[in-house]
């Protein structure tokens, strides 16, 4: 079962824009040392749309190698082409990832029946736990609760990253997926604690890039039944959860890591540096949070 805090890891680039695998390994060690329960490379936060197929494969393989079984790895494997998502999922399986994160196809705007066929086609052909990813604000495609319920019983479909930020939707998804082993993970940091209160099991987190310890502690406290401590950590993390989205993710996350002297902040176009006013607001939040 997937459970706890999984970091949606940024992808480090060198000054010339090439992959920085040494820095990738450093970030992974930082995560593991601070209690993160799993690493998710090559998701949206990892700038997967700007990675070549070869780069995507390299980042996933290097992550699995660097983690070396100490925590789980859920490899980003989504595409708006079912055939391409299938190839990426097969690669995740081949290099030893613990799961594959597969987003709803973007831009195509498939019907609900098309979504069912997309996910079941991949799950039928690759024996790896799949985490579906629903983030309609990014994709233009919304996988409804009833549709999640149709595929949740598939033996290779293990979970969903639900990123609408809508607690009613979370309730509907959990109600539609009666199998105890099916997991709902938050894809929106600001509602992770409320989602766990409804039956969610954790988060695939952007905030964990900059504050992995408290995000993991929040999930651990909830899991152990210390709801007061978990709630306190939720409110401590809330300013970060807001300011890490004042511009398009992962711009604020990479900018934060640059301010923390952990990353050079390089992004690939069409992403670019933050505006000065937002950067000042972000710096203030990092200072208040004790991260600078």
For residue 178, what pLDDT band results from cuts at 50, 70 and 90?
A: confident
Asked if residue 71 belongs to a domain, the reply is: yes
Q: Per the domain annotation, does 286 fall within a domain?
A: no
Q: Kindly tell me if the per-residue pLDDT of 273 is higher than 70.
A: yes
Task: Supply the mean pLDDT for the chain.
Answer: 96
How is residue 113 written in tokens? 């029946």
Judge whether residue 136 has pLDDT over 90: yes
Q: Is residue 25 part of a domain?
A: yes
Confidence check: pLDDT of 79 > 90: yes
Q: Report the alpha-carbon distance of residue 140 to residue 18 in Å, rounded.
A: 30
Mean pLDDT of 81-102: 98
Q: Would you list the DSSP string of the chain? A: ---EEEEEPPPPB-TTS-B-HHHHHHHHHHHHHTT-SEEE-SSTTTTGGGS-HHHHHHHHHHHHHHHTTSSEEEEE---SSHHHHHHHHHHHHHHT-SEEEEEPPPSS---HHHHHHHHHHHHHH--S-EEEEE-HHHHS----HHHHHHHTTSTTEEEEEE-S--HHHHHHHHHH---TT-EEEESSGGGHHHHHHHT--EEEESGGGT-HHHHHHHHHHHHTT-HHHHHHHHHHHHHHHHHTTSSSTTHHHHHHHHHTTS------TT--PPPHHHHHHHHHHHHHTT--
Say what the pLDDT of residue 1 is: 82
Encode pLDDT of 8-67 as tens digits. Answer: 999 999 999 999 999 999 999 999 999 999 999 999 999 999 999 999 999 999 999 999
Q: Is residue 174 part of a domain?
A: yes
Buried b (16+ CB within 10 A) or exposed e, 272-283: eebeeeebebbb
Residue 89 has pLDDT above 80, yes or no: yes
**Cβ distance 240 to 207 under 8 Å?**
yes
C-alpha to C-alpha distance for 41 and 63, rounded to whole angstroms: 7
Please report whether residue 179 resides in a domain. yes
Q: Is the peptide bond before 36 cis (omega within 30 degrees of 0)?
A: no
In which domain, by residue range, is 154 found?
Answer: 4-224
In a domain, 280, yes or no: no
| Residues with catalytic function | 133, 161
- Quick one: what percent of the chain has pLDDT higher than 90? 97
- Residue 36 in any domain: the answer is yes
Q: What's the rounded Cα separation, in Å, for the pair 291 and 239?
A: 12
Which band of pLDDT confidence, cut at 50, 70 and 90, is reported for residue 113?
very high
Which residues partner with 186 through β-bridges?
162, 203
Q: Give the residue with greater pLDDT, 177 vs 218.
A: 218
Q: Is residue 281 part of a domain?
A: no
The count of domains in the chain is 1
Beta bridge partners of residue 24, listed in sequence order: none
Q: Given this model, what pLDDT does residue 179 score? A: 61
What is the CATH number for 154?
3.20.20.70
pTM of the model: 0.95
């Amino acid at each position: 079962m997937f459970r706890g805090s999984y970091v949606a890891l940024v992808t480090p680039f060198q000054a010339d824009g090439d992959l920085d695998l040494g820095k990738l390994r450093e970030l992974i060690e930082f995560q593991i040392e601070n209690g993160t329960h799993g690493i998710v490379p090559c998701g949206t936060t990892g700038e997967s749309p700007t990675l070549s197929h070869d780069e995507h494969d390299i980042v996933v393989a290097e992550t699995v190698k660097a983690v070396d079984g100490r925590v789980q790895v859920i490899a980003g494997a989504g595409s708006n082409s079912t055939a391409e998502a299938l190839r990426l999922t097969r690669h995740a399986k081949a290099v030893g990832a613990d799961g594959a994160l597969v987003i709803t196809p973007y831009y195509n705007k498939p019907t609900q029946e098309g979504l069912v066929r997309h996910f079941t086609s991949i799950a039928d052909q690759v024996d790896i736990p799949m985490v579906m990813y629903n983030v309609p604000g990014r994709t233009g495609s919304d996988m409804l609760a009833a549709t999640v319920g149709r595929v949740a019983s598939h033996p290779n479909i293990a979970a969903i990253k639900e990123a609408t930020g809508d607690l009613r939707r979370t309730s509907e998804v959990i109600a539609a997926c009666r199998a105890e082993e099916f997991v709902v993970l938050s894809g929106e940091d600001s509602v992770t604690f409320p989602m766990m209160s409804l039956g969610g099991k954790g988060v695939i987190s952007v905030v964990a890039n900059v504050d992995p310890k408290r995000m993991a502690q929040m999930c651990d406290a909830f899991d152990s039944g210390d709801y007061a401590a978990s709630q306190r950590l939720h409110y401590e993390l809330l300013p970060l959860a807001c300011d890490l989205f004042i511009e398009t993710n992962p711009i604020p996350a990479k900018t934060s890591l640059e301010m923390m002297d952990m990353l050079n902040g390089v992004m690939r176009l069409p992403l670019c540096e933050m505006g000065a006013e937002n950067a000042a607001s972000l710096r203030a939040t990092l200072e208040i949070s004790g991260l600078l």
